[in-house]
Copies of this chain bind each other. A is one copy, B any other.
Amino acid sequence: MLNRFRLEFPSRAENVSLARVTVAALASQLDPTIEELDDIKGAVSEAVTNGIIHGFGASPEGTIVVEAVLYGDAIEIYVEDGGKGIKDVPKAMEPEFSSDPERLGLGFSFMQSFMDSVQVDSAPGRGTRVIMRKQFAPRH
Q: Check if B14 sits within 8 Å of A29, measured CB to CB.
A: yes
Nearest B residue (CB) for A22: B22
Q: In the assembled complex, which residues on chain B have CB atoms less than 8 Å from the CB atom of A14? A: 3, 29
The complex places the Cα of A6 from the Cα of B66 at a distance, in Å, of 10
**So how many copies of this chain end up in the complex?**
2
Determine chain A's interface SS by DSSP, over half rule: mixed
Which B residues are CB-close (under 8 A) to A10? 3-4
Q: In the complex, are the beta carbons of A7 and B7 less than 8 A apart?
A: yes
Tell whether, in the assembled complex, residue A7 and residue B6 are in contact, meaning their CB atoms are under 8 Å apart: yes
- Chain B residue at smallest Cβ distance from A9: B5
Residue total for A at the interface (Cβ-Cβ under 8 A): 18
Contacts of A22 in B (CB 8 A): 7, 18, 21-22, 25
Asked if A15 lies at the interface with its beta carbon under 8 angstroms from chain B, I say: yes
Considering the complex, give the chain B residue whose CB is closest to the CB of A70.
B14
Interfacial chain B residues near A4, Cβ < 8 Å: 9-10
Contact with B along A1-45 (1 / 0, CB 8 A): 001111111101011011001100110010000000000000000
Contact in complex: B25, A21 (CB < 8 Å): yes
Q: How far is the CA of A124 from the CA of B17 in the complex (A)?
A: 38
Docked CA distance A3–B4 (Å): 23
A15 / chain B contacts, CB cutoff of 8 Å: 3, 5
> In the complex, what's the smallest C-beta–C-beta distance from A109 to chain B, in angstroms?
27
